[in-house]
Structure 1
């Protein structure tokens, strides 16, 4: 008999029609609406939205950083020196290649007329500043006028934070070092602020002449001199900028300056954006993977509802491949709908952020539609749908009609044909390849893929174990308990789906909570109790002993620790130029800028020698250096290798004599590199000191010390550790807030999958409830059985989620953040219990409607 599904030898036109049959039947089945696929579409939309939004936002930021590179950097090129000004030869080199603007930055103590004192990030600029962009003041006016000297006082403009902290108004007087200032305006916008990084104090902008009048420019003072170069407009290309950089390194090899161009105006910011983008992309992938479980559930449930239709199609001669093609087409269409919805919402994210937060976010976001990022998000969504739908679709290929009908009461586990297994593996492999190849850090991406695979396998094993235990559990005397246990392992049980969705959700929730709690505990509770109360910077060498005696008088019970300090930048290591070294991720920061260095006769407190030998007291041979072990390993260094460091314009090469481990968390004075004392003989330098109160200082003690030191030693910069920790804590809080917000997408996906799984089991619940009520079960007894079932499943899954989430947070805190981890069971327990309660509530809400079904209509349709 001829039919629409099989032909002995179809003609060309009939063959074309056969190609379109799956699409025609898929569209025909969707005429009744999308019932049963709302969770499917929502899961794909959520994941696609996350990836599209993150990609679009990152691309908008990258465009902004590239377009505003000159403004962010303050020039086409920036040459930075530490602790010294450029020589006349170096200035002549720069001035011969364009217009130059000089700026100096340092930390200093600002004192008010009423005796108050605070740390400020002072920035001194010349008349050419800014070369690009505009400095916005309130009240408005030219920067040069605001910084002029009048009646023996220099002008200054201050950050709004400084004005608010002391209740200052324009016209207020400040003293820094030996110079007096009048604050003439509030600094509303500083064009090159992003290039300077994050400081511990508010900005105070002054003139270069004012800085020299303060007396803070002592030999060895921690002053960062930046010389910005604006190339001639007719020759301001990236190629010319690279050529000038090469000339500077070739003509002035001993300068030791850090050179940045407008294409890498803020490398640290760009790295942070890339890292955060990768994190958010991983969150989006997690949402897609969690949502993929919902996709598989929806497809399985849809095929279950359509078993009669499939039976009719196969009875009419449709092949297994044709049935597969029809429903695969339908799945892809639905995935495309969800992907387009999510991608469209994600595309609007940069515009929404720029509109709502553009005025307060100090980042150059240039919103635009980025076709590549949007297409990638759509591909991710389609691949996820394929990876999770191919298996249940493939199982329908070889099932005979009788088995399809019999599945209504006795579904049998079946594996799809090898071709469908291979297709599933290929889709998963494509998803993994996409995630890894496009990642900023492929190592992290591979770890993520591996962890995700392990978690999925473990959750499946947990579900299998629960079902096996339930099947082998002793027969309970209570009918309700027997029913609950039977529901866990019966054919078509929801156990695997509930365990997978709930387990992922709880594990993620516990991970975020434990990381949050540990970071806040680390920076808010533990560190201040054992950390120094103050760091004292820029103590002149000639006043080091005098300063120590003064502090001992002011705080006789406190401990003071003092070491000499210089700044230097690694030029090469083991004979390899710094720019060619490929360090590990946790050691790269050592090469990115100048570092604090010191010299010592003995192993510093807080360090432990682990390799090599310390030099003898009074050693006077070739320069030696002690290197921190983890950093040395990250740079690929070993004992006997040489390290060249530029200090005060001189390249000094030292041999690694030993390795140390350092307790950085104590916040005591320590350095990555400690040199033999003869290395810097005669070099100008300052001292760094810490003050630690026994048991921690009080606010009154610390306030008095801050004011007294500022008044007696105006050249010394005092950093209150608690203020610094509060600044770090604010950054950590923003980071954790971002993690919470991003993770909420995944948690929402997990909740959707859980709700979808319970909804998918509604038909089975109706069937069970009707049969059991017919046999005499009461609604209360059925409700109790379902409650116990959900409690048992939720409790077992919560235990796994707590353990896996705690393990994940431990790895992140210890291995990635390099902090000490403390397991906090109470927050994890609260999260797990809350998730179990949500599971029970969602399950019972769906069960109520099943219990209310009348037996007769259901029995007639069996």
Structure 2
């Protein structure tokens, strides 16, 4: 039996996505020539975002993992100004084992009478209940702090030993009581929970604190009761917290748990992460200009391929999809590089600096954060490639072949503009959805859009001006002027990339100059020289007289000092209030409060009336105007505070405007004199010398006060400012490091813009050299062109950067603004020189080409 074969069928190949993908992969076999800047821009931006967010997650995980060690227990109940009563302590002990730590500022006096401010930490016999205290020499804590030879032991920060010229074994006095330094401090397990310190740490036993009398009721101190639960499960933690809260609803505790060991620190990490992420996004958006340049050059190089595809019947949309697929593959490769670098960053930091970091870093792969960085990268790549790729849709084949000498001006189809709009909306939505502070994210997006728009206007204005200017007779300047406005000119890309970089540099430079001025010159000139804390109310008059005798002519201010915690506003518990970020600190923890008969100096009433002497005998409240407005308060609003374990509700009778920059004595809340009459308290005083800063006089007053009033804590304003300055400079260094990424991206974009114009410049060079132009003359023309572009970008950067710095300094930092353009001018001039060098370096090789091989190609 003979079978018959079925008739052969024509083979069919899929013509959809598989074919498009296959063609895209085939074209990529030729390498990634021309896409180096594209890859670098996307990879750098994605790496910045992935690295910042991965480090943030590692820090958050570290805080979560080390929460018990950071707190010294599973739950911590803290009180300000007072020690817990035996009844309160008994309720805590019903839930588990309790250890007690008290912290405050005090004065340590060396054998020669020199004094230094210290962060005093008194601990009980169970310290540290969690973790280890590292000392030099290492020994059990109980042995180091034990009494011997008439003095308790102490562990001192090495900075204190250096400051007072001491060594291990020497003695100091605190509040008149001797202490023997048994060891120097290396690390303490709960250092993060202590917050920012204005002096070196001094650890003493609880018995030593009681002997000094510094912990008496009303003095400025914090008592922390660290509770270790038997099994410490999350359910037990919740049950214990609920039971204690129910038994002691009005104790005025500040409560923290190991699940959220330091909410303020965690919030700071989130806020700083958002800022650095936005800086990384800036780098990515700036890099988008380089992406657009690279894709435009890619379309230019593919002119012949596009013409061939369209000549054999490929529709314009399929051409766009083909090259969009190819670009998407390259973008995915770039994003993968950036994600790899960003994911590795926490591990590299931990390996290199793990032992030196003051923060618990837990390196981990963060899929969510990496996905966020990848999404930013993909959306940015699409936003900056869709319009250049869409250009090839409607250009006829003949037009493609003529583009070298007669570039076609074709409008982009509406569909591609719609894709761009949707992509930008997705980018904005992603930034808003992941922002810690949406207001900051909105400001960033508005500033980015405004910068792009203004730089476009600058570029078009420069081109229009160059087009209308009379043409010079000299060949070099004439060519430079023509290059600024001719079709395919570098003006838009050059101005945009360099302008954004200069703007960022100028903004940082002006902000840094204003912060430095505020901390080193402006504030100390009008601020007090010395602050004095914990002045016993019984000694207040004697202390004021003592200061007057030691510093004749000095200005002395003294006020009542208490600590209180806002628990409700207009009857609404603070836990249910979501205040703006710039006002959240008022509700976060304990605040200093005082009483006053008259309007405090350095303030003015902006709404309401100050109380009369008779009215002041009943509880009334004056609130700081800006914070009151931010919290939605008004005249007649009620504020409930907990002071010394007692809850009190008062009514706001007026709002005050406070000049915080004077560093004088001022508070958010000032109560009438009758509010806390009879309550135990200490006083706060300031001393302002008549002739300004005088280190010798300040040192002498510090020594004399430490001898005559050993329980009083003295703080030099200069030392406090140096501590704040050190912290700000560390943050500024991190910001500069992240901003350097954006500046690096600007340089990459600049180099990419020049590379994208390689073909046009090569064509010009060949023609001009045939006509007799020398390399020197051509270099002069290009130098003038790049110099003009750099100058325009620098001027824009100076104006825009100064404006941005003014807004940040005055509106965010609330400092006086001074125009200091020294550093900014150096940055701008450097940018102009760098632009000329990069431009000339990019064209030098082009000008060296022999004309003959290229004449046949045009």
Conserved? CA contact 1:297–1:497, under 8 Å: yes
The CA deviation string for residues 749-792 of structure 1, in whole angstroms up to 9 with x for no partner, is: 01000011011112211211222232333332222221111111
Counterparts of 1:548-567 in structure 2 under 5 Å?
548-567=544-563
Q: 2:116·2:163 contact (CA, 8 Å) conserved in 1?
A: no
Q: CA deviation at 1:323?
A: 1.4
* Count of equivalent residues: 850
Q: Tell me, yes or no, if the aligned pair for 2:514 and 2:817 is still in contact at 8 Å.
A: yes
Change (3 A) 1:697 1:451: closer
Residue 39 of structure 1 aligns with which residue? 37
Secondary structure of the structure 2 residue equivalent to 1:678: coil
| 1:170 paired residue number | 168
Query: Secondary structure of the residue that 2:34 maps to in structure 1?
Result: coil
Distance 1:13 1:735, change over 3 A: farther
SS at match of 1:359: coil
Instruction: Give distance in 1, aligned partners of 2:164 and 2:326.
Output: 66
Q: Deviations over 1:792-851 (max 9, x none)?
A: 111111111111111111111222222222121222111111101100111111222222
On the 8 A contact 1:665/1:819 being kept in 2, the answer is: yes
Q: 1:15 & 1:439 partners in 2: Cα distance? A: 47
| Matched residue, 2:190 | 192
Counterpart in 2 of 1:446? Answer: 442
Change (3 A) 1:632 1:620: closer
- Is the CA contact (8 Å cut-off) linking 1:218 and 1:540 kept in structure 2? no
Match of 1:841 in 2: 837
Q: Shift of the alpha carbon at 1:162?
A: 1.5
Aligned to 2:615: 619
In structure 2, which of residues 637, 643, 652 is the aligned counterpart of residue 647 of structure 1? 643
Show the counterpart of 1:297. Answer: 293
Residue pair 1:109, 1:177 contacting (<8 A) in 2 also: yes
Contact 2:116 2:164 in 1 (8 A): no
CA shift for structure 1 position 15: 5.1
Match for residue 216 of structure 1?
A: 214
Q: Deviations over 1:424-462 (max 9, x none)?
A: 222222222112111111221122112111111111111
Equivalent position SS for 2:648: strand
Of 625, 628, 635, the residue aligned with 2:631 is 635
Q: Secondary structure at the match of 1:679?
A: coil
Cα displacement (A) at 1:621? 5.2
Distance 2:495 2:349 in 1: 36
CA contact (8 A) 2:105 2:120 kept: yes
User: Cα deviations across residues 668-722 of structure 1 (Å, max 9, x unaligned)?
Assistant: 1111111111101111111111111123132211111111111111011000110
Summarize the alignment of residues 425-504 of structure 1 with structure 2, pairs less than 5 Å apart: 425-504=421-500
Match of 1:677, SS state, is: coil
Residue 633 of structure 2 aligns to a residue whose secondary structure is coil
Structure 1 residue 620, shift from structure 2 partner:
4.8
Q: What is the CA–CA distance in structure 2 between the aligned matches of 1:781 and 1:498, rounded to whole Å? A: 22
Instruction: List per-residue Cα deviations over 1:17-71 (Å, max 9, x = no partner).
Output: 5432222222222222211100000011101111111121111111111111111
Structure 1 segments unaligned to the other structure (5+ residues)? 1-10
Aligned-residue CA RMSD (Å): 1.5
Quick check: 2:597–2:616 contact (8 Å CA) kept in 1?
Answer: no
Aligned to 1:247: 243
Match of residue 79 from structure 2:
81
Q: Mean Cα displacement is larger for which, 166-175 or 578-587?
A: 166-175
> Residue 177 of structure 1 contacts residue 714 of structure 1 at CA under 8 Å; is this kept in 2?
yes
Instruction: Give 1:809's match in structure 2, choosing from 783, 801, 805.
Output: 805
Judged with a 3 Å threshold, the aligned counterparts in structure 2 of structure 1 residues 33 and 620 are, in CA distance, closer, same or farther, namely: closer
Instruction: Identify the residue that residue 363 of structure 1 maps to in structure 2.
Output: 359
Q: 1:499-578 residue pairs with structure 2 within 5 A?
A: 499-578=495-574
- Out of 56, 59, 63, the position equivalent to 2:57 is 59
Q: TM-score, normalised by structure 2?
A: 0.97
Distance apart, 1:622 and its partner CA:
3.6
Deviations 1:581-624 (A, max 9, x none): 11111110011111111111110000011000000024255411
Q: CA deviation at 1:518?
A: 1.3
Mean CA deviation greater in 779-788 or 625-634:
779-788
Report the counterpart of residue 132 of structure 1 in structure 2: 130
- CA–CA separation in structure 2 for the residues paired with 1:415 and 1:442: 36
Match of 1:749 among 742, 745, 748: 745
Match of 1:105 among 103, 110, 122: 103
The whole-number CA distance in structure 1 between the counterparts of 2:78 and 2:215 is: 16
Residue in 2 aligned with 1:354?
A: 350
Query: Alignment partner of 1:16: what SS?
Result: coil
Question: Following superposition of structure 1 onto structure 2, how do residues 208-357 of structure 1 map, counting pairs within 5 Å?
Answer: 208-233=206-231, 236-357=232-353
Question: Deviation digits for residues 523-581 of structure 1, max 9, x if unmatched?
Answer: 12221222111000011111111111111111113211111111111111111111111
The 3-state SS of whatever aligns with 2:98 is strand
Aligned to 2:4: none
Change (3 A) 1:212 1:529: same
Give the aligned partner of residue 5 of structure 1: none
TM-score calculated relative to the size of structure 1: 0.97
